[in-house]
Structure 1
Amino acid sequence: MTKSVFVAASLFLSAVLVAALASLLMWQPLAFAETDVVAITERIIDPGVQRWGFVTAAAATAIGSLGAAYAVATIGAAAVGALTEKPELFGRVVILVGLAEGIAIYGLIVSVLILNRL
């Protein structure tokens, strides 16, 4: 029961963090209106398109991070169990956890690529 509550709370907190970062990215041009509006009009980018670009970049990071969190939690639990039986498996276990963490890096790379296209 406590593990499911912890997982739900961590998912909720990560969703709140992603929403806060996405709103910061969406409303950032309004905070610096004098310089960014000129840059937007010079490049002829619709503000609605730019907002959706920021939303998709935030979604790519959020979904990648949530997937990585689930993978690391699952593999980490199995890894600790395997290490209690055979401590010599530490190197293999670290590689598996690192591969699961790579999912979050892929999401971050996709969001950077999306932001570079805006």
Structure 2
Amino acid sequence: MSRYVNRIATTRSKEEIDALLVPILQREGFTYVKYEGEDVWKKGVGLMTAPQFFKYEYLGDSVGVQAWIKFAILPGVYAGEMGLKGFWGIAIKKMLQARVNEMEYAIANPYPQPQASANV
């Protein structure tokens, strides 16, 4: 199965997109790495769960988003990519899909949603 791929229209600048997405990715434990010649955000090494990958690319009037997981044979030894659909690895796919949904929402909406106060 291939990567999840989406393109989201935006009026935001590259700097604004970075300011939105980088904190989300860092909060979720992703690190920015070069993997197989691509600059991507990666979480995990395959010890207990499949490594998760996220990539975004500013395209001027839109942002290209890609997300996938890799099946780990051994820690750091991966075989094939899986998108976010399908039963195999469903728990990890659902976690990554939730993160992708949050980032796509941030990209697509010109005004961030107000944070709920804990003292309400």
- Report the TM-score when normalising by structure 2: 0.30
Specify which structure has the higher proportion of helix.
1
